[in-house]
Structure 1
Amino acid sequence: CDGHLPGCRNCAKSRRVCTGYQRKHAFILSKDMVAAGPGDESALPPDQSSQLLLPDESDSGHVMVSRPRLPLEISVHSVFRDRIFALFAEYNLSAADAAPVSASDAVRQSFGERGGDWLVRIMSLPELTPSLEDSLLAACTARLGRQTNHSALVRESQRLYAKGLSAMRRDVCRGSTRANEQNLAACLALMLYEISECPGDSPDGYMVHYQGAMELMRIRGPAAHQSGLAHSVFQLLRLHSVSQTVKSRS
């Protein structure tokens, strides 16, 4: 059979009764398929128009084209988070100009233009852990609140700080999530918050997060910090380590 419709030309030449086109493949309709007319070329993918012909509708000139469906809704929380991060980057609201006078140059530089690589890598992650998301939101929201003299944002940053800290403690105590590189980044975000806000006018909080980050690095091992976000965080923590060493010897 040559597949010609409505009858096979080979059968017609030999004067036989054509039994019809023998199809080896069955096409199952999906709710994700939409009908398109023969002149609607915009609905056809460039290389799939010949693959999606329906045998029982080929004579009507219609094809079925698969189109990806958009999500039914977009999370408001994700939109808010992305907007806060965008504002933080747009106005260069780093802790370099907000750090206390007592902060060393190395600490200031680590959160300034020289240390922005870790933030860029975080923005490119497909998904953030609750600990990293809340910790970084706390630092960003606090800085925005100080910049705009918006006390409600500063208070919200305190809530986010406590929430992020609690989530990170759970992740660190759980063996399956302890070595996640996002925990390291969360420690750095909490250090950023402590430097810019300095709760209680004491460096104790900053030192606790610094020591926790160093312990996480020890647990993960050197090989786990050679690339990606972990390597960016490692480079910044190295600056902090130099700062602490110089401070202890002075």
Structure 2
Amino acid sequence: MGILALCHQITVLQRQLGADGCVFTVELELGPDEKAVQGDETRLNLKTCQMELAIRRDQLLKTDDPTTGLTKETGKPTSPTKVEEAPSGRSRLSTSASAAWTRSEGYFETWWVDPINLTVNDVTNFVGWDWNGVNCIQPGWGNANYSWLTTTGWFKVADNFQNLYGCTDHRSESYAHYANGSFCGVAVPAAHAYYPRNVVQGWWDGNLTGLTDSYADSGCSFLLSHHYRVIRTYN
């Protein structure tokens, strides 16, 4: 998956249990001048619900598309809906001053890979917004793509999409559910991959974050591995 530098390991603890496995909440973040960060599962302990991720962060030099060869539903960019925001640690500066505006665009992608290194399903959320590090953001657009490997029996069960903004951020978020009745063989329950929420957020200070609690359960879905990345495509 591309060429990203400065690799280090982190351990992610589970938030809750799925039917047959662990649910991990993973968040990746780019500063306003950063281009790419990627997290790839390198070790998984289902007994203790611990996952080790290799985190690679650097200027994006090259990237491959993990959805090549998959069935794909491509969303169209849409205007967002304004929502009221609860107070958070990311509150913007309290000032009436103004500064030059920057347009940023990027995406957060989560995907699952099988033991022979084939991507079996993927959700990608996109966002574009204007920020200046002082004022409320100016919303732009958001959309989502859904992809799955039809040739090995995967199909999309359901999905939905929300495109929202407030003073501090513009966020594009999706739910998706994929399944495969033949992935684990005969007389074994179907494998499922869930994306309860896959969220990309563009912030008032130029940061770009991705957050997901995607998990796989049932059948032999423990054979699948997690992968995540946030990419800034325009700044």
Of the two, which has the highest radius of gyration?
A: 1
Q: TM-score, normalised by structure 2?
A: 0.25
Q: TM-score, normalised by structure 1?
A: 0.24
Greater share of residues in helix: 1
Greater share of residues in strand: 2
